[in-house]
Structure 1
Amino acid sequence: MAIATRYRAAFFDPDALRHPVPTFPWKSAPAGLATRRQLRAEGLRPGGQEIAAQVLWRGVGGVRTAYLYRVALALPKRTATPAQLAAIGEALRARRTCSTCGTERTYYIPRKFGECLTCAGMES
């Protein structure tokens, strides 16, 4: 693999000689490794495995890091139980219900007002 710039060379450490884990520059990670977001897009999760490598790049605020996990060791994403889904539904319904008039709205009640826009006088 040819490293074209000093920037990329600074972040290229596949043998972990300068960094605690193997390190690669942006868009240079080997096949078989993926970030959490990439795993989630495939319906997987790290499943408690250790970080296998990292990607470093210069971004807003300095050097940014993305940890990589082995795809072969990843586990399927967990799904919520029916009871968990029901609890989430109730919590979201409570966020849409006005405490003043008791009406369930199609939007979440603004915390700023603590009541629906009609009761707060913001809607005519």
Structure 2
Amino acid sequence: MFRTEFDDPEGVRHGGLLTFNYRFAPDGLCTRRQLAAEGLTPGRQPIAAQIKWRRGKRFAYLYRRDLAVPKRPATDAQLRALTKAWVALSTCPSCKTEYGYYIPKRYGECLDCFEQAGA
């Protein structure tokens, strides 16, 4: 069943911002994630519209695809910094073992070291 609760393609009811129901946005308008999946970013363009769902508690801004610009690739320095951060956050400070996941901040060390300290 089609609900027209948030359908406002002229932007009269929602402060001048074109508003559509979930899955009913016109072609050419995309969310940030949809643009990112295509290797694009909104750039500095303004928000073109929004979609609303779940009784208006959920919403997503839409941007024009034709004004989107290609994403800039990360520099070598940025990639090195991300790698360094990953190593720091996935290495246990107690046993110095690097894991394939972040060490839980709740415990401050890997689960093995946490359990040994508690025993």
Q: Post-superposition, which runs of at least 4 consecutive aligned residues in structure 1 deviate over 4 A?
A: none
Q: TM-score, normalised by structure 2?
A: 0.81
Does residue 24 of the first structure (1) align with residue 8 of the second (2)?
Answer: no
**AA matched with 1:79:** P
Q: Which runs of 5+ in 1 are unaligned?
A: none
1:1-124, aligned counterparts within 5 Å?
5=2, 7-8=3-4, 10-19=5-14, 20-57=16-53, 59=54, 62-63=55-56, 64-120=58-114, 121=116
How far has the Cα of 1:39 moved from its partner? 0.8
- The structure with more radius of gyration: 1
Partners of 1:11 and 1:117 lie apart in 2 by 48
Give the CA RMSD over aligned residues. 2.0
Q: Pick closer, same or farther for the CA change 1:53–1:93 going to 2, 3 Å.
A: same
Counterparts of 1:107 and 1:55, CA distance in 2:
35
Matches of 2:74 and 2:88 in 1, distance apart? 20
Q: Which whole-Å CA distance do the structure 2 matches of 1:55 and 1:49 have between them?
A: 17
Structure 2 unmatched runs, 5+: none
| TM-score, normalization by structure 1 | 0.78
Q: Secondary structure at the match of 2:111?
A: coil
Q: Aligned AA for 2:64?
A: R
Aligned length: 114
**Aligned residues with identical type, % of pairs:** 54
Shift of 1:113: 2.6
Cα distance change on mapping 1:40 and 1:102 into 2, 3 Å: same
